[in-house]
A and B are shown apart, each in its own frame.
Chain A
Amino acid sequence: MTNHTYTPGGESIGRNVPRIDARAKATGETVYAGDLQIPGMTYGKLLRSPYAHARIRSIDTSAAKALPGVVAVLIGEDVLDINPYYGHAIKDRPLIAIDRVRFAGEPVAAVAAESLAIAADAVELIEVEYDPLQTVISIDEALAADAPHLHVTQLLKKGLFHGLGDFNLDPGNVCYHHSFARGDADAVFAGADIVVEGEYTFPGIYQYAMETHTTIASWNPLQDEVQLWSNCQHPFLVRAEIADLFGLPQNNVRITVPWLGGGFGSKSYTKMEPITVALARKARRPVRIANMVDESMVTTRRHGMNAWMRTAARSDGTLLAREVRAWFDTGAYADNGPRVVATGADAAPGPYRWEAVKVDSWGVYTNTSSAGSYRAFGASHLQWAGELQIDQIGRQCGLDGLQIRERNLLTPGEYVRPGGKPLDADLIGDIRQAAANLGWGTPKPDNVGRGLSVGLLAAGAHPVSTAFCRMEADGTVTVYGSSTDMGQGVRTVYTQIMAQELALPVSRIRVIGGDTQITPYDRSTGASRSTTLAGMAVKRAGGELRQQLLDIASREFGLPPDALEIRDAAVWHEDESRSFPDLIKAHFGMVGGELIGRGEVRPEQGSGSYAEGPVFWEVCIGGIELEVDQDTGKVRLLKTASVADVGKAINPDQVEIQEMGGIMQGLGNALWEEMLFDPQTGQLLNSTLFDYHIPTFGDLAVEHASSIVENEDGPGPYGSKGVGEGSLAGAIAAVATALYDAGVTIDQLPATPERIWRAMQKERME
């Protein structure tokens, strides 16, 4: 465990500083993308394909164009002057359908009009003739030998941010294959006392950020400048893709990011921006495209998955080997599929000491809406299956869920995967805490199950973040960073870090939101990286500014900087002090000027590639107690438990709330949520929130107990590491293990009452 010394003076770290945005959000004053009014703005509406797979024979837009109030109509042929294919991993997606549609809901035409009502009317007037093609809706269909291919994969180009090794695709519907093996798995399985094996199914899931994807674009034809206001998580990656698509220098593309109404991965990478820019380019007017919920549902989602897994152990409960094969349904376009496939595979063995592992995972194209990132991707898909098998082995050996994990979990410093970062967390301590929070070992009725789960998530993405800060002549500070505040509270955390570094009250600090023309580069907002990496860049910027203050004070006092200290918004030597405004005035010789501090984070060793990473292992702990109705299969949640292993909690309250929110989403994933695609037509059947159940107040457990573990073992500021995703994956898996404890072996999520009832019937028959 490292010992981090806090900067002298500051008192902001580890305190429940109120969120800087709470008041404006509670009064309704906060401006989100959909609240912006841009002068001259038109309203965009999309015509989306009713077919999951079809050739477009013709599009007649004449009636739409003739409708008064219509400013422009965009179709595929309007973007043939550029290379219209994008995708940060694989450039497989045209920004608007060109000759062919590959999922029901794909944009075929876009209208810009003086009002949304006119745009909607105009969309109705567009006539499209389709020749339907054979569809591949399920993973099995897509992998069949005679399946039609969605793409000519050999011709696809690598995206700007593929980042996952070699890129050459075989013909077929596989967009990515990830595999690794160590030890001789076949031999270990052959000699093992116990082998458990199963097949598992995980559904496609809608992230449901309450604020749908909303983008405003304006194209200035005189200077070929693009301005975007978009609720995106990764503005710099979007900027790069827009510049690449439209052949513009990056500094001609400006992306301003307002406060977001949730993200959860759904607004990561490039989504609605290319089509909005193309429509604005044609309209020569600013245009806003704001999705409705059914449109956001087919803009991105969590991957559905089929998997096979087996685990071997000795009769004393020592785990020996695990073998996994998993197929991820990435839909019609890869989006972030390759990375989901890679992280899913990496997390599949779980954080245990194995003699042998063998893992293969594939990303598969189907004629459904494209799948990308969703909070805790990777760990969510397979942790539950792996943890279920751990408990199945435990039961055969007479070990309970805590005992078998204590015996087999990795300890700090052991390798999670060869060549990557060793384990940087005390998992045994964490799981004991989760067990304690659940009341492990206390008596309970047979129909009540208690389950634990533990997993790891490769967190941090590529470690590149920059930040700067300005101290004005009056001693106030503004922080410039590009991490998107989508509700996780990053701007509050920046405020606390800067206050700590400069010994200022948080009220003296402002944080500017992401704007690629103003705030400096940050790779992305996701993978639990904002506090750890962007926060570190902010800390370094503050540290640089602090050093400048000390240097100025050193001249003024005629003493070396190390004879001075910073506290209470001033530099001190013994009981003599100079305030910051005083020092700035002395430096510039007037009441004016400003000091600028700069901070950056880049890979400390190696290239920062995925294979060498991760930045840290995010701990995914779950603990659930539930009751199963033996007649109906209905679940009643009695208790949820969380353990946030965060190294150092910069704002403990915000850590706890992140955990509670993550658990609620995990319960949704595990028990209720599932996108249903018609097996023939590929249309989304539950495309409204009437039919797609988002957890409500009524779904809460009776009780919740949470803990924060602070071992200061993270790479972030003050020994911190990210939080927010682990509890989601942990909760899904703990539902599976708790159900197992209550006598239900589930192999398909969500665990609906019907599936639970069927599992119970099967068990009773056996």
Chain B
Amino acid sequence: MTTTTRMTETGTITIDATVNGRPVHATIAAQTTLLDFVREELGLRGAKRSCDVQVCGACTMLLDGTPVSSCCTLAWEAQGKAITTIEGLSAHGSLDPIQQAFVDTGAVQCGFCTSGMVLTAKSLLADNPSPSRDDITAYMSGNLCRCTGYWRIIDAIQLAGERMRDKDGGS
């Protein structure tokens, strides 16, 4: 895959990336944010806009596995990268262990924060499979939730970590 971004004379750019493992090639206005690109151009609406200033994490996506606030990331920054959105985690019909743990522990209320929470947690558990509460608090501090009071989200992340470790250990 090419990694050069081409800016055309009309202020549009072409972007080549993968989204949830599928190659995407698109021509978009240069100032398009990653959030608008994914939501409006690709029609994947699981990522949400809330604060729009990189505080709340509702718009979180993974770029090559690293969480970014897609509201404050330009789409061209994803050039040549692997974009993972919430839709990518359950693409094969079954829930990711983190999603399942969110369901099982009651970490979901209105759900507006959930897609961002799950993706940040995904990256956390990839770095640190058995995070302490302090580890979680530090890593997740860029994701707000106004409903749950956070306790169950911590439980969910720890439960998911446990289940993923058990599975790895068993295989």
Chain A residues within 8 Å of B, Cβ to Cβ: 16, 18-19, 21-32, 34-35, 117, 208-212, 259-262, 264, 292-293, 486-489, 653-654, 657, 659-665, 688-690, 694, 696-698, 700, 704
Contact = CB atoms under 8 A, between A and B. Distances in A.
B23 interface: no
Contacts of A29: 46
Contact of B148 (A16, A27, A208, A661): A661
Interface string B36-65: 000000001111111111011010000000
Contacts of A30: 111
A28 B153 CA distance: 16
Interface centre among A19, A21, A28, A665 (most CB of B within 10 A): A28
Contacts of B77: none
Given A26-B111, A694-B144, A697-B153, 5 more contacts: A32-B112, A209-B146, A293-B50, A665-B146, A700-B150
Contacts of B170: none
17 contacts: A25-B110, A26-B100, A27-B95, A28-B86, A28-B114, A34-B48, A210-B50, A210-B58, A262-B110, A262-B147, A489-B109, A657-B106, A660-B148, A661-B148, A664-B149, A697-B140, A697-B154
Contacts of A25: 108, 110-111, 114
A293 B52 contact: yes
Given A27-B89, A661-B149, A697-B136, A210 B108 contact: no
Interface string B125-153: 00000000000111011011111111111
Interface residues of B, number: 52
B103 interface: yes
A661 B114 contact: no
Contact of B45 (A21, A23, A35, A698): A35
A279 B16 CA distance: 38
Contacts of B144: 210, 689, 694, 696
Nearest to A25: B111
A489 B145 CA distance: 16
The 10 A-B pairs with the shortest beta carbon distances in the complex, nearest first, are A28-B46, A487-B110, A25-B111, A261-B112, A660-B149, A28-B86, A664-B149, A487-B109, A689-B55, A26-B99
B118 A262 contact: no
B85 interface: yes
Contact of A27 (B46, B48, B152, B153): B46
A261 B48 contact: yes
Contacts of B152: 657, 660
Interface centre among A16, A211, A486, A489 (most CB of B within 10 A): A211
B148 A657 contact: yes
B90 interface: yes
A665 B146 CA distance: 7
Contacts of B137: 697-698, 700
Contacts of A486: 110
What's the dominant secondary structure at chain B's contact region?
loop
A689 B112 contact: no
Interface of B: 29, 44-53, 55-56, 58, 85-87, 89-90, 95, 99-100, 102-104, 106, 108-115, 118, 136-138, 140-141, 143-154
Given A486-B110, A697-B150, A28 B87 contact: yes
B48 A210 contact: yes
Contact of A689 (B56, B95, B106, B153): B56
Nearest to A37: B43
Interface centre among B50, B53, B109, B141 (most CB of A within 10 A): B109
Nearest to B39: A35
Interface centre among A260, A486, A688, A697 (most CB of B within 10 A): A697
Contacts of A689: 51, 53, 55-56, 144
Interface centre among B46, B111, B146 (most CB of A within 10 A): B111
Contact of A654 (B47, B106, B146, B150): B106
Given A23-B103, A661-B148, A664-B150, A210 B110 contact: yes
A30 B110 CA distance: 10
Given A488-B109, A657-B148, A700-B151, A27 B86 contact: yes
Nearest to A640: B149
B146 A264 contact: yes
Contact of A210 (B89, B90, B112): B112
A697 B135 CA distance: 11
Contacts of B149: 657, 659-664, 700
Nearest to A487: B110
B100 to A, nearest CB: 8
Contact of B109 (A211, A657, A696): A657
Interface centre among A27, A209, A487, A488 (most CB of B within 10 A): A27
A26 B52 contact: no
A261 B115 CA distance: 12
Nearest to A642: B149
Contact of A292 (B44, B52, B141, B153): B52
A697 B141 contact: yes
A24 B118 CA distance: 13
A28 B102 contact: no
Contacts of A208: 146
A212 B50 contact: yes
A654 B151 CA distance: 13
Interface centre among A117, A664, A696 (most CB of B within 10 A): A696
Contact of A653 (B55, B85, B106, B147): B106
Contacts of B106: 16, 19, 22, 653-654, 657
Contacts of B102: 22, 26
Nearest to B45: A35
A701 to B, nearest CB: 10
B150 A260 contact: no
A657 B138 CA distance: 22
B90 to A, nearest CB: 5
A292 B53 CA distance: 11
A663 B148 CA distance: 10
B115 A28 contact: yes
A687 B89 CA distance: 34
Contact of B147 (A23, A117, A661): A661
B37 to A, nearest CB: 13
A688 B72 CA distance: 14
Contacts of B100: 26
A292 B143 CA distance: 18
Contacts of B147: 262, 487, 661
B51 A487 contact: no
B117 to A, nearest CB: 9
Contacts of B99: 23, 26-27
B162 to A, nearest CB: 18
B120 to A, nearest CB: 11
A25 B113 CA distance: 9
A681 B151 CA distance: 40
Contacts of A28: 44-47, 85-87, 114-115
Contacts of B154: 697
B108 to A, nearest CB: 4
